[in-house]
């Protein structure tokens, strides 16, 4: 089971992307828990849930260094979602990126 957390400003704009990523995971037979939270909920959610990778929506990419510092000791990779993939709601590409980050442990 891969746990993929998406973070955006309100947690709502990424909900469609989550749905598309879940469909892509099902099509590839990948067992994944993909969910979106607001930036203000992210810390609390990570206390309660096991997270394998954290992807930031383009609107909160300025928070990347902050999350990297918080998650450094936990070995959880952090990256931003490609703006074009986000704009096109390309769930498959975003899922592939998340899985690559987990695999590489970056």
Tell me the catalytic residues.
8
For residue 70, what are the CA distances in angstroms to 59, 73, 87? 19, 7, 27
Query: 33 pairs with which residues across the strands?
Result: 3
Nearest partner of 17 among 3, 1, 34, judged by Cα: 34
**How many residues are present in the chain?**
106
Nearest partner of 94 among 83, 104, 103, 9, judged by Cα: 83
């Amino acid at each position: 089971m891969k746990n993929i957390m998406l973070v955006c400003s309100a947690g709502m704009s990424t909900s469609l992307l989550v749905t598309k990523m879940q469909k892509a995971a099902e099509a590839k037979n990948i067992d994944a828990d993909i969910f979106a939270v607001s930036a203000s909920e992210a810390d609390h959610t990570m206390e309660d849930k096991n997270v394998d990778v954290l992807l930031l929506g383009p609107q909160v990419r300025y928070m990347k260094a902050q999350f990297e510092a918080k998650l450094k000791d936990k070995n959880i990779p952090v990256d931003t979602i490609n703006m074009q993939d986000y704009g096109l709601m390309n769930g498959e590409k975003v899922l592939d990126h998340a899985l690559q980050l987990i695999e590489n442990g970056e």
